[in-house]
Chain A
Amino acid sequence: MKLSFEKSRAGRSGLDRLDTAPGDEVLAELGDLLRTGELFLPQMSELETVRHYTALSRRNMGVDTDFYPLGSCTMKYNPKVNEVIAAMPGFTGLHPLAPAAAAGGWLKVYSDLERYLADITGMDAFTLHPMAGAHGELTGMMIVKAFCGGTGESRTKVLVPDSAHGTNPASAALCGFEVVNVPSAEDGMIHPHTLAEYVGSDTAALMLTNPNTLGIFEQHIRRVADMVHEAGGLLYYDGANLNAIAGRVKPGDMGFDVVHLNLHKTFATPHGGGGPGSGPVGVKGRLAEFLPVPRVEEKDGALTLSEDFPRSIGRLSGFYGNALVALKACAYILNLGPEGLAEMSALAVLNARYLLGLLTSGGWTLPYGAPCMHEFVLSGEDLPEGVHTMDVAKRLIDAGYHPPTVYFPLIVREAIMIEPTETESPEKLEEFAGVMNRILGEARDDPDVLKTAPSTTPVSRLDEALAARELNLACKRNGRT
């Protein structure tokens, strides 16, 4: 499909009238600073712009169009009512630096959501500022660092299981911590006797996802928590997988001290092609003083913003994070209520376990056998010689499915990570399992259809090596493309 730049015609614009625009004489004031270089933007009418982006949207898959069993990403349905709420002018119109007295509505949303999330996770205080999961991790690690700094001890290491998301070690490293990988045992869990070799007086924190990225609940979590605490470290909860236990098990009750959540996963805000997300961070009471500022506070019966927290890790975003995303999550929680949350996580687990059964009975290999929670990880290692997980993924596209997460977690060879979420029907799972099992047969009988897939998409497999070797990252007037 042509680029907008290639459809462009000099002199066209979708903005044909702007009543407040003065003549060009005002620009003369810029003198030597007047822009002389070309402003290379597409030139299209409004209809051409609309057709261009509509055409682009049709070359894309979303939860609203197809099943998206993308492990670790919780691609559940994003309720439409939340979009309507997030478009209310009373929310969208407010300037972030309006006086606090003018922000009563937003302050209530923040204060309410902080309380709901604290309750759901068993924490004492929350910040909604982090703008994505990884940003939440960084915030959490900064809190860990601030806490350790105050203890007078030298805690330089953050322990991360080998099954962890890549953001965990990356976030810890950004705070200057040394990252130490802890191997998971044969059953996919962290075992106290292994952990004992790693945890010590230099441990700042252990970062855990529970259920872990294999979809397995860490059975020894209480003992693990005790070991970390006895060594003087903190236990960090990566909330990527909260959808498995929300409304049922609180990370705070498992012994976690710091959590981050992904509102764009568990709390149904749309992923938007990769963001904006929201990664709120919750802490136990003794860590609350370190939370970022400004914080929502009640003062003389009214909510306000306060920066008066001398031990805070400071301000981490221009304003207060992705407010509209927080708003959608707040609406989702109120929509579901406590029973709805518990039902949500139970059906997420039920769907995953049901789908797993359909796939293993169809011949797929499950390397870690513990009962799965909301997701599970298959291995493509037993596929016939020369056929890889990526081929299965591409073949699924031809059948109208978004592929699962592949090649993650790193501890499973040829990993295929599947998370159906609670919002899919049993029929959809059966249909998907039928296709997956058929593909397994094709891998034996007709591997070429896998190797050449997809054939139904606007483009076939793309040359990623070429893209990285001969960089073409922008359309330029005098350049390539």
Chain B
Amino acid sequence: MAFVPHTAEDVARLLAAVGADSLDGLFSHLPGDVVSAAAAVPGPMDEDGLLRHFRTVSGRNAVHEAGMCFAGAGAYDHFIPAAVDALSGRSEFLTAYTPYQPELSQGWLQAIYEYQSMIVSLTGMDVANSSMYDGATALYEAVLMTLRVTRNRHRVLVSGTVNPLYRTVLRSYAANLALEITDVPMKDGTDDADRLRAAVDDGTSAVVVGYPAFTGSLADVSHLAEAAHDKGALLVASVYPTALAVAKSPGEMGADIVVGDGQPFGMPLSWGGPYLGFLAARDKYVRRMPGRIVGATVDTRGRRGFVLTLQTREQHIRREKAMSNICSNQAHTALRAAVYLTLLGPSGLRKVAAACMGNARELKERVLALEGVTPLYRNGLPWFNEFAVRLPAAAERVVQSLSGKGVLAGVPLARLAAGADEGALLLAATEKNRRDDIARFAEMLSKTLRELR
């Protein structure tokens, strides 16, 4: 029990050494008015019993069959190479603490430095921190960062292309701050550039866009960056990182801060977590960045080594004046992302991205060929691997019905955004959705639509 090594003899010997008569006696100095009844949790269970219990519980999750997940909206069913689990699972990584003692943490620190370097290149930024909790909280931290950079500005324009769940999260946190959020809804599935440009003013700290839009379209945001910069505001892009393997990086289009969720880089879906928030920015804003940052330096003998740097921004030094309250972050999922990206390299990641695009096109063609299914948007823009359609039935009912058959048919838009069309369904494909999976899905969807009619 309790994974303790103590024998009865050990306990007796230690108790004698500390002058206590029993284990309970160790607590005898506690005031009498705070003693509680024992916890009433179930257990204990032995290891075999525990495994059986959780196998049964996990069986109550109706997980999609291989290749039959067509849902995205911020979490994608990408393939995870075996080496990612094998390497990140090494217990020198898994059971380590934050690398505050650099001499014995060079493995972790170098891995994070390499991770930061990869995020920097993908996003087209200059610096990246060592991780945030997830894509939604990374966006919130980015918005706070723009308030620090621009000073005395309190307004943020958020394009409807940003994932609605992230927008909701931003709104929750903003409630406690001097921060006004103006939502600028999408126009035909992309940024409403005219309205965004018109809305930027001297009180605006940031324009926030989704890239790609959460409904899949990719749009050049350079003109929005220019409009923001003209008024002294920053452009923040919330991205799907796999897309950046093939699509122009926000950095190339003038963005100042890029955030997103690194889940596609080796994190299983796992009902939403742990995922990986990443945050990258221009050099000049590095001292306004939240979170831990690893930097290279030298040791007393001139050898290269790595340390946590710029710590005076952080809560353990600055307390209430810190850039953020973040302490524990998502180091281990950042490591998974680093292993994933190292393993794939530029050519592998491009292959994955191209496969996502190819399969998504196959999927879109098949789905749109079904009777009564129409595209929700017709903006003619390039797109990555996600798209929205209007079904001739309630999307929620379709998804529920197919979920019982081993298929996750997408995400009904009405679940993400109040007031969305009941028939609207957001679909995504990854490299895992093979041609025959898509064909089988199209048949099942067709049958379900007929049944629900």
Which 4 A-B pairs have CB atoms at the shortest separation, nearest pair first? A319-B272, A90-B58, A337-B43, A314-B172
Docked Cα-Cα span, A422 to B339, in Å, equals: 33
**B373 interface residue, CB < 8 Å from A?**
no
Q: Quick one: which of A441-462 are within 8 Å of B by CB?
A: 452, 454, 457-462
Q: Assuming the A-B contacts A41-B341, A273-B98, are A323 and B270 also in contact, with contact meaning beta carbons closer than 8 angstroms in the complex?
A: yes
Min CB gap B341→A, angstroms:
5
Closest residue to A423 on the B side, CB-wise?
A: B3
Contact: B114 with A461, CB < 8 Å? no
Contact: A41 with B59, CB < 8 Å? no
**B376 interface residue, CB < 8 Å from A?**
no
Docked Cα-Cα span, A219 to B271, in Å, equals: 42
Contact: A31 with B382, CB < 8 Å? yes
Contact: B400 with A58, CB < 8 Å? no
Min CB gap A420→B, angstroms:
11
The interface size of chain B toward A, counting residues with CB under 8 Å, comes to 204
**A116 interface residue, CB < 8 Å from B?**
yes
Q: Name the B residues within 8 Å of A185 (CB-CB).
A: none
**B419 interface residue, CB < 8 Å from A?**
no
Min CB gap B168→A, angstroms:
5
Docked Cα-Cα span, A30 to B322, in Å, equals: 41
Q: Assuming the A-B contacts A254-B34, A335-B43, are A15 and B269 also in contact, with contact meaning beta carbons closer than 8 angstroms in the complex?
A: no
Contact: A217 with B29, CB < 8 Å? yes
Contact: A101 with B400, CB < 8 Å? yes
Min CB gap A78→B, angstroms:
6
Docked Cα-Cα span, A341 to B98, in Å, equals: 26
Contact: A464 with B297, CB < 8 Å? yes
B23, B42, B47: the one contacting A346 at CB < 8 Å is: B23
The stretch of A227-235, A242-250, A280-288 that contacts the partner chain: A242-250
B111, B127, B304: the one contacting A473 at CB < 8 Å is: B127
**A416 interface residue, CB < 8 Å from B?**
no
Docked Cα-Cα span, A268 to B2, in Å, equals: 10
Q: Quick one: which of A96-151 are within 8 Å of B by CB?
A: 96-99, 101-106, 108-109, 116, 119-120, 122, 131-135, 137-138, 142, 145
Q: Name the B residues within 8 Å of A316 (CB-CB).
A: 137, 169, 172-173
Q: Name the B residues within 8 Å of A292 (CB-CB).
A: 172
Q: Name the A residues within 8 Å of B329 (CB-CB).
A: 132, 274-276
Contact: B345 with A43, CB < 8 Å? yes
Q: Name the B residues within 8 Å of A239 (CB-CB).
A: none
Docked Cα-Cα span, A472 to B126, in Å, equals: 10
A408, A423, A474: the one contacting B117 at CB < 8 Å is: A474
The stretch of B83-91, B189-197, B228-236, B443-451 that contacts the partner chain: B83-91
Q: Name the A residues within 8 Å of B218 (CB-CB).
A: 30, 33
Q: Name the A residues within 8 Å of B61 (CB-CB).
A: 90-91, 93-94, 102-106
Min CB gap A207→B, angstroms:
12
**A92 interface residue, CB < 8 Å from B?**
yes
**B328 interface residue, CB < 8 Å from A?**
yes
**A387 interface residue, CB < 8 Å from B?**
no
Closest residue to B69 on the A side, CB-wise?
A: A95
